[in-house]
């Protein structure tokens, strides 16, 4: 028996068909291989979503078989529902992981294609200083995770200009940040929203400085409290209320009067435009208790008070909130007093008589021993001891000023 030889099939490209048609054994047929897109692993393809399953998504990328996107390659988010990430007919970019797996399937990744594009965009933003926009997808210890196509870390200290007590309020929100650190080998991106806000505030600060003038009363919010005063946010720029400008009475610490977040009316005392510093006063928006003394009382009036401080030369007595007067040691008792502490102590209630009201220097001279005496001649009798008060500073500062006089 003689074997039959089958001649090999011959095929040639039809001229003028751009390789899309073949002539095989005299017949014209489509060249399917020519319609397939040549690509390599690691390349990014564009395709159309043609099917969505619970654990994968199929994408037509113009290859002989659809590309398969496993669930864990859909997004950098954890435990995603494929239907939340894509819809049928969506055009998506996908990076080729392997052209043929053990089952002959083309495996591609949506998240890695996005990752590659994101890196290029983020690198350009880091170089130019332009901000990037992303969604907060997680609140973690020390900050926020922002979806930029890659996972960016936003430290808590850089979320806002002020400290943010509750980072959860940013979850699932879009925020604008600047890239401040980038490390491709470690896939590390560090962001700062604070940098964006500070840049925005530069123009706002200048506008506010141009608008403010000494003497104006404005409203602001307490943004920080320190030992020497309180800072007030004036809608974009901070002003300082020094502790001495908080109240007409003595204040040990600003926290006695104010809390962060309080809204206050303050008076602009001074503006250093070159250094962008604003000095504010809180007590200037309140009634000056000293004026009540001037308007209400006269020399010889008797009233109740409380000892606030005992010093070597006498005792300070508060007769109104924020107003203290000095009872000189010679006016403490009918008898001679060697040490004021012999007859009075802090918080003692006392009845006093006004001996002198010095409106210009805001000083009040009082007497305990002259209570219930006839008021005539009080001013003259006191002249002998008034000289002892020449070094007494203005009222309201006694805690600091007279500390040097304590025993």
Q: Which CATH superfamily is domain 44-109 in?
A: Nucleic acid-binding proteins (2.40.50.140)
Q: Give the global pTM.
A: 0.45
> pLDDT of 262-278, one tens digit each?
999 999 999 988 888 89
Is the domain 289-405 a CATH 2.40.50.140 member?
yes
Is the domain 212-285 a CATH 3.40.309.10 member?
no
pLDDT along the chain (407 residues), means of 10: 49 57 63 60 83 88 82 80 86 84 84 83 89 92 90 92 88 93 87 89 79 90 92 88 87 91 92 87 85 83 90 90 87 91 91 87 88 53 42 40 37
> pLDDT of 317-363, one tens digit each?
988 877 888 999 999 998 998 999 989 999 999 999 999 888 778 78
d(CA 55, CA 230): 57
d(CA 154, CA 148): 12
d(CA 269, CA 232): 13
Positions of CATH 2.40.50.140 in the chain: 44-109, 129-196, 212-285, 289-405
Can you name the CATH fold of 129-196?
A: OB fold (Dihydrolipoamide Acetyltransferase, E2P) (2.40.50)
| Closest CA relative to residue 352, chosen from 304, 291, 386 | 304
């Amino acid at each position: 028996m003689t074997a039959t030889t089958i001649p090999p099939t011959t095929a040639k490209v039809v001229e003028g068909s751009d390789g899309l048609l073949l002539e095989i054994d005299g017949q014209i047929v489509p060249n399917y291989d020519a319609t397939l897109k040549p690509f390599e692993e690691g390349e990014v393809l564009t395709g159309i979503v043609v099917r969505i399953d619970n654990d994968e998504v199929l994408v037509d990328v113009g290859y002989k078989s659809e590309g398969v996107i496993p669930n864990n390659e859909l997004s950098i988010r954890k435990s995603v529902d494929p239907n939340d990430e894509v819809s049928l007919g969506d055009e998506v970019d996908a990076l080729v992981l392997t052209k043929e797996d053990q089952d002959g399937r083309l495996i591609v990744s949506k998240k890695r294609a996005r990752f590659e594009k994101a890196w290029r965009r983020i690198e350009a933003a880091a170089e130019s200083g332009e901000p990037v926009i992303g969604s907060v997808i997680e609140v973690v210890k020390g900050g926020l995770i922002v979806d930029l196509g890659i996972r960016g870390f936003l430290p808590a200290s850089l979320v806002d200009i002020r400290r943010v007590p509750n980072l959860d309020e940013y979850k699932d929100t879009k925020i604008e940040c600047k890239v401040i650190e980038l490390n491709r080998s470690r896939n590390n991106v560090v962001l700062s929203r604070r940098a964006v806000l500070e840049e925005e505030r530069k123009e706002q600060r200048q506008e506010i400085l141009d608008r403010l003038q000494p003497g104006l009363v404005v409203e602001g919010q307490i943004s920080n409290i320190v030992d020497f005063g309180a800072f007030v946010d004036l809608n974009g720029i901070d002003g300082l209320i020094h502790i001495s400008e908080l109240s007409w009475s003595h204040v040990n610490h600003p926290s006695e009067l104010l809390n962060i977040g309080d809204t206050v009316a303050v008076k602009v005392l001074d503006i250093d435009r070159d250094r962008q510093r604003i000095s504010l006063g809180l007590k200037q928006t309140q009634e000056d208790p000293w004026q009540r003394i001037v308007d209400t009382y006269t020399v010889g009036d008797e009233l109740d008070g409380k000892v606030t401080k005992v010093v070597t030369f006498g005792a300070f007595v508060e007769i109104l909130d924020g107003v203290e007067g000095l009872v000189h040691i010679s006016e403490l008792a009918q008898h001679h007093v060697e040490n004021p502490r012999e007859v009075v102590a802090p918080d003692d209630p006392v009845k006093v008589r006004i001996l002198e009201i010095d409106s210009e220097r805001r000083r009040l001279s009082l007497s305990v021993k002259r209570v219930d005496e006839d008021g005539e001649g009080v001013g003259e009798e006191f002249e002998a001891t008034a000289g002892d008060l020449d070094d007494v500073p203005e009222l309201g500062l006694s805690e600091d000023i007279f500390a040097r006089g304590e025993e």
